[in-house]
């Protein structure tokens, strides 16, 4: 009996288990079929909105800066050369590399012995020429006296001949007497002619002596200059470079011994492209535009100002563009040969805006924030590049907002949230104030006193809670901590 009862219980439990398993299988099958036959659920997609920095295009006047590189030069540079050769006897203390000298300072003295000897010989030759001229002048005076005597003798002979002919005409004289008088007169005339030749020779001798004297004087002046050239002086205030001699050394004629540079008379030479040069022209000529020269020296910028003075006459072989020169007003700290940055102020542009270079794409387009804060692509005219900024023509986009920093995620039709850094910030809203009943106030004060807040914070919050009206955000924050 007991066996039968247990057997029936086992069969019953088995039947229940099989029934439950069948029910579970049927439930799973129904769920799978319902899942497979059900339409797929669609969840609403939310559009992604990007926050972008924008700038507002406000038309105005912008003066572009043309930035190029140039080299400083001195407008007064002189190669010091020795006119004569010889041994260097002495030099000035400042006759060293970088030495500062003033005008008419003795820089170098060459041994003057040879030049002095040549000068003395020339002076002796001058004395000889002067003595020769004096002797020639005395000879000319004697020749003139002899000529005068011969002329007087010829006059007497002519008078005697006239008297002899008169006597012969009256029958007193003879033909022999007349013939003798004629011979004497002819001889006197020949003597006058000879004396005239002597005077001409004496005058020629005087001319030759005068020429010789002039040549001797020229030689003496040249010798004096050669003697003076043994001492070299500074012709203007400046600094020395490339010094190549020292006392005791030997120099040859026309040897370069140093270079004298005026560091206060500086100009900058810089090269611009042909298009940049064309932008600088006004009425076909290059105006005297202001320039600014800067030199970065260990983080400290040396700055000098000036203006354009001239341009190169021709383009050198293998070069392009135009070479422009600008004189500097005052340039302390600059030296010839410095490689500097030159900024030229171009004529101002009107109805333009200065925007970040990242706002303009390679195809000269910008992204404009349109209606509904959606982006629109607009083409603009790019006029200049100014470092990290560009100058564009505003035109019909005046007052519009454009994206300041483009990225591959942005394009036409994209929704954005504009952020204008230049927009005025709205003043913070005043906190909402609420009144507390005595019980609620006491609970909040007790919580603050029992908290681990610093004493200064406790005192500040307690003072707020004891006021008639308390900021609602303070109350909400404390109650959230209390767990109420």
pLDDT digits (tens, 9 = 90+) for 78-110: 888 888 888 888 888 888 888 889 898 888 999
Residue 454 above 90 pLDDT?
A: no
pLDDT of amino acid 316: 80
Residue 46 above 70 pLDDT?
A: no
Average pLDDT, the chain: 84
pLDDT of amino acid 462: 82
- When pLDDT is averaged across residues 121-132 and rounded to a whole number, the result is 90
Name which residue leads in pLDDT, 178 or 286: 286
Residue 76 above 60 pLDDT?
A: yes
pLDDT of amino acid 484: 47
pLDDT of amino acid 437: 80
Q: What would the two tokens of residue 92 be?
A: 């000035």
pLDDT band at 315 (very low <50, low <70, confident <90, very high): confident
Gap between the Cα atoms of 391 and 59, Å rounded: 11
Beta bridge partners of 343: 67, 292
What kind and span of H or E run contains 368?
Answer: strand 365-369
Residue 5 above 80 pLDDT?
A: no
Q: What percent of the chain has pLDDT over 90?
A: 11
pLDDT band at 39 (very low <50, low <70, confident <90, very high): low
Gap between the Cα atoms of 357 and 372, Å rounded: 26
Max mean pLDDT range (164-173, 183-192, 406-415, 435-444): 406-415
Q: What percent of the chain has pLDDT over 70?
A: 95
DSSP assignment letter at 399: T
pLDDT of amino acid 287: 87
Of 164-173, 183-192, 414-423, the range with the lowest mean pLDDT is: 164-173
What kind and span of H or E run contains 324?
Answer: strand 322-328
* Closest by Cα among 277, 268, 282, 280 to 325: 268
């Amino acid at each position: 009996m007991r066996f039968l009862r247990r057997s029936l219980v086992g069969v019953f439990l088995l039947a229940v288990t099989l029934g439950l398993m069948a029910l579970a299988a049927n439930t799973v099958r129904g769920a799978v079929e319902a899942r497979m036959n059900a339409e797929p659920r669609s969840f609403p997609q939310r559009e992604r909105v990007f926050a972008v920095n924008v700038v507002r295009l406000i038309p105005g006047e912008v003066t572009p800066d043309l930035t190029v590189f140039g080299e400083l030069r001195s407008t007064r540079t002189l190669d010091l050369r020795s006119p004569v050769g010889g041994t260097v006897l002495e030099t000035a203390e400042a006759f060293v590399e970088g030495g500062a000298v003033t005008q008419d300072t003795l820089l170098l003295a060459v041994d003057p012995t040879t030049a002095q000897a040549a000068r003395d010989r020339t002076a002796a030759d001058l004395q000889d020429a002067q003595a020769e001229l004096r002797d020639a002048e005395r000879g000319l005076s004697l020749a003139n006296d002899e000529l005068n005597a011969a002329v007087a003798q010829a006059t007497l002979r002519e008078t005697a001949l006239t008297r002899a002919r008169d006597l012969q005409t009256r029958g007193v004289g003879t033909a022999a007497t007349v013939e003798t008088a004629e011979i004497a007169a002819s001889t006197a005339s020949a003597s006058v002619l000879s004396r005239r030749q002597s005077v001409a020779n004496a005058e020629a001798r005087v001319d030759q002596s005068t020429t010789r004297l002039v040549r001797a004087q020229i030689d003496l002046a040249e010798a004096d200059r050669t003697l003076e050239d043994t001492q070299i002086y500074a012709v203007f205030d400046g600094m020395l470079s490339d010094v190549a001699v020292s006392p005791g050394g030997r120099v040859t004629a026309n040897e370069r011994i140093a270079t004298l540079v005026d560091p206060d008379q500086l100009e900058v030479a810089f090269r611009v492209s042909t298009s940049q040069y064309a932008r600088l022209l006004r009425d076909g000529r290059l105006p005297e535009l202001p320039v600014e020269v800067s030199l970065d020296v260990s983080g400290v910028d040396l700055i000098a100002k000036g203006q354009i003075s001239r341009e190169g006459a021709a383009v050198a072989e293998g070069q392009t563009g135009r070479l422009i020169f600008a004189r500097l007003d005052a340039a302390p700290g600059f030296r010839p040969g410095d490689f500097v940055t030159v900024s030229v102020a171009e004529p101002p542009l009107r109805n333009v805006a200065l925007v970040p270079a990242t706002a303009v794409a390679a195809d000269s387009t910008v992204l404009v924030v349109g209606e509904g804060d959606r982006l629109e692509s607009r083409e603009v005219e790019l006029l200049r590049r100014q470092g990290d900024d560009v100058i564009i023509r505003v035109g019909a986009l005046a007052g519009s907002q454009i994206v300041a920093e483009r990225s591959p995620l942005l394009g036409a039709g994209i929704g954005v949230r504009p952020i204008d850094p230049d927009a005025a910030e709205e003043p913070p809203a005043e906190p909402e104030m609420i009144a507390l009943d005595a019980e609620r106030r006491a609970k909040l004060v007790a919580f603050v006193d029992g908290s681990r807040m610093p004493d200064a914070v406790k005192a500040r919050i307690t003072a707020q809670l004891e006021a008639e009206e308390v900021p609602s955000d303070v109350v909400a924050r404390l109650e959230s901590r209390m767990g109420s």
